[in-house]
Structure 1
Amino acid sequence: MKLNFRIGNLPKAVVAGAAACTLFLTACGGPGGAAAGGELDLAALNLDSSQEQQLQDLYEAAIESGETDVAIYAGHHDEFKGIYEAFEERFPGLTITPETYVGAELQTKLDAERQSGNHVVDVLSNPNADRYADQGFADKYKPATFAMPEWAEGRLSLDQIEDPDGFYYAPWALMFASSYNTEKLQDSDLPSSWTDLADSKWAGKLTFMDPSIPGGTMTVLTTLLQAGIVDEAWLEKIGANAKVVAQDQLALQSISSGEFAYQPLSASISVLNAKQDGAPVEVQFFDKDNVIATEKWMLAADAPSSDAAKLLLSYLYTVEAQEKTLEAGNFPINQDESLTSPHGWPSLADAAFVELPEQSVMREKMTEYGELFKSVTAK
């Protein structure tokens, strides 16, 4: 990305100066060699004429305003790097500043910006986006390129993809499965279902993140429990078979080092990243009952670079962004028929996953299972 410093924490005057400098460089054939402003070539995005015009209009408005840097607050950014870089190349003069904020830190940051009136964030990405929308931290915006996929009906609650109130939309999903050390286990050793992991033969071979801490493990177990795929007795048995750690990354490190053989309840993209870094790990998806969680993105309230932010949000649903999503190991909500996963993974339309309930049900069940999750940690 062109700007890799934290513009979001600089005074507004400095931000404006940095944006002006960027515009000067690009207009004069600087980095990228493309001029900011003017007619865009959007043919590769596979849009209709109306969508192309909306993106062109947003681009021109962003350039004219001088508010050309999009500050994104999210829990992670590594897998989005390809999308960010492609966006900056596709729309000369626009830049992205990724900021990592989650949980209490994100809440504190948003509260501080509201109280001070010094708004920095333009885009929010969070699996629980509705919480922040309910507090007034988002503005309604439906991306010009968004469409509800035909496959979604009956397979997940549609509010996991599109907010009924129009605040958030999901361009892709995470898939949770399992990881294993390829030097410790062969294909013939692997479990065939979640149920298998409760067998005593897995005692001392498993590790996973504490499910009482908000995160992927809590999400997976809540989804499985509320769907009746597993029960409390299963959870007690798998807890007894495993070493429970504070972070998902710690569990993956133990799998990578060979300390443990198998990590259930993990995010496939994290395993893929470790594998690409040379770790002897592999992803396992089951033939059924995998778990997904949608990544919800929305326009921040009082976003200083609102036009550029709207352009980015619309870009996320294009073929170009979908291709980058697949490369990173995520699953586009709408996957163009011309694209396939370079990792041999199925599209969401073909994936075998547990039905994802409404946001309100997930939140209610997480609270309901709270004491049960804590009991696993205590063992």
Structure 2
Amino acid sequence: MRTIPKSVAVAAAAVMSLSLAACGGSSSSGGAGGSASAAEEILAMPEIDDSDGLVIGGEKVADADLLKAARKEGSVAWYTASGAESAEVTAARFEAETGVKVKMTRMPSGKLAERVLSESGAGRLDAGVVTITDPVIAEEFASKGVYAPYKVASYDTVSKVDGVVYEDGLYYAPYYSAYAFSYNNQVVKEADAPKDWADLTDPKWKGKVGIVHAGAGGTVQGLAQFQEERLGKDYWGKLAALKPRIFDTTSTQLEALARGEIHVATSGFNSTYGAEIAGAPITLVVPPGGVSGTYNMQGVTKAGLDSAAAKLFQDWSMSSSGQQFAAAQGFVAARTDIPATKTGDYTLPTADSPDFELYTPEDARELGADIVARWNKAYGYGG
């Protein structure tokens, strides 16, 4: 029987606490001290000038009238499907840079979609901004009148980038989630750690690899497509032969990795980096063979058109400062004109890099069901 080092167990407790928070139904943020402090640890505050509108890091984010009105309102109502830790520090950073608070409601994509569509259909949707991690749901929001067209302050810049502006500003892709892999550095020596995707299929990892099944969501579907296209049609079979442990959610996978129950795992970069800086004994790898990516979508609602704070939140999200903060958390910024921004000691590829392969909304709509069905067969997974 293998004994898990005490340090692994202690750090795993921290990661489980973080994961439980991420699975919670909803939460609100008023720029709590802990989140604000964490936000500054992630990325130092930029230079801010609000003497004539809002200028952050030399870029005009909002004019004087919008900033004044947003501060008078005092807060923005934000519905998001982002991970709890990421959403909290993003809300805190927005408040620190703009002086406007965030009233946040966080739910998984499916539950959030149900609530948004229900409230919108009844004319009771109070959220000014809605962020969703499933581009197909974003399309449904657009078709059912949840989102309303709003051209952000940086529209002329972001509209030149493919796959960022949808329906002339009805909604946007502010950043992308990245997927790579990681290992428990308490049970795997650095010299033995996997360096590229092919290393995960080494027989020495038999029974020690953790993966999330492809039906769990768009991010893992995107990873599955990436593996087939970049690593070969036989990659699933090679990995399946190692009898990996298959998880239903990324949070339970992350807990198992932190506890040392699995040694290596395919990993969502943002959530895993959050666990690492929280103290979990986890090291991420940015493989030279590339990383997969999936869309996050965000739009101002009809109610948000009457809210200066909601407009400011959308402007800030697409600003250079908001984009750099997303990158510093472990997302891939949609804008490619921003200064290079590392995630701690890691350097993720930029959105326009050949090392970053996006699973597009079209892929999700047209290929998703087939990917899941074939993946299940390859891994003998019955759900």
Q: TM-score range by the shorter chain?
A: 0.7 to 0.9
| 2:182 aligned partner | 179
Contact preservation (8 Å) 2:329, 2:343: no
CA–CA separation in structure 1 for the residues paired with 2:113 and 2:354 = 34
> Does structure 1 retain, via aligned residues, the 8 Å contact 2:294–2:360?
no
The answer (yes or no) to whether the contact 2:349–2:355 under 8 Å persists in 1 is no
Q: Could you tell me the TM-score, scaled by structure 2's length?
A: 0.76
Larger deviation: 252-261 or 343-352?
343-352
Secondary structure at the aligned position of 1:174 is classed as: strand
- Is 1:212 aligned to 2:224, yes or no? no
Structure 1 residues 261-300: aligned runs within 5 Å: 261-264=263-266, 266-300=267-301
Contact 2:75 2:101 in 1 (8 A): yes
**TM-aligned CA distance change 1:312 to 1:45, over 3 Å:** farther
Distance, in Å, in 2 between the alignment partners of 1:135 and 1:82 is 30
Q: Is the contact between residue 126 and residue 296 of structure 1 (CA under 8 Å) also seen in structure 2?
A: yes
Contact 2:78 2:104 in 1 (8 A): yes
Identify the residue that residue 238 of structure 1 maps to in structure 2. Answer: 239
In structure 1, stretches of 5+ residues that fail to align are: 9-17, 19-37, 153-157
Of 257, 260, 263, the match for 1:258: 260
Q: Secondary structure at the match of 2:296?
A: strand
Deviations 1:124-161 (A, max 9, x none): 112312232233221112211242398x6xxxxx22x2
* Native 8 Å contact 1:70 1:305 kept in 2: no
Q: Determine whether 1:143 maps to 2:146.
A: no
> For residues 287 and 197 of structure 1, do their structure 2 counterparts lie closer, same or farther at Cα, with a shift above 3 Å needed?
same
Amino acid at match of 1:298: G
Q: Give the corresponding residue for 1:378.
A: 382
Letter in 2 for 1:57: D
When residues 278 and 307 of structure 1 are mapped into structure 2, their CA distance, relative to the original with a 3 A threshold, is: same
C-alpha distance in 1 between matches for 2:143 and 2:356: 27
| Superposed counterparts of 1:193-208, under 5 Å | 193-208=196-211
AA in 2 matched with 1:183: Q
Taking only the aligned residue pairs, the percentage that are identical comes to 19
TM-score by length of 1: 0.76
- 2:325 matched to which residue of 1? 324
Q: CA deviation at 1:182?
A: 0.8
Bigger Cα displacement from structure 2, 133-142 vs 307-316: 133-142
Determine the structure 1 residue equivalent to 2:357. Answer: 355
**Deviations 1:72-130 (CA, angstroms, capped at 9, x unpaired):** 232324224333223223333x3211111234312321232123222222111123122
Q: Aligned pair in 2 of structure 1 residues 6, 77: CA closer, same or farther (>3 Å)?
A: closer
State whether residues 72 and 96 of structure 1, in contact with CA within 8 Å, keep that contact through their aligned partners in structure 2.
Answer: no
Conserved? CA contact 2:125–2:303, under 8 Å: yes
SS at match of 1:337: coil
Instruction: Return the index of the structure with the highest Cα Rg.
Output: 1
Q: Greater shift after overlay, 267-276 or 76-85?
A: 76-85
| Amino acid aligned to 2:54 | L
Deviation at 1:41, TM superposition (A): 6.1
Task: Identify which of 76, 83, 105 aligns with 2:90.
Answer: 83
1:109 is aligned with what amino acid? R
Counterpart residue identity of residue 105, structure 1: K
Report 1:81-160 matches (<5 A). Answer: 81-92=88-99, 94-127=100-133, 128=135, 129-146=138-155, 147-148=157-158, 158-159=162-163
**Matching residue of 1:33:** none
Distance change >3 Å, CA 162–CA 350, structure 1 → 2: closer
| 5+ long unaligned stretches in structure 2 | 1-25, 31-49
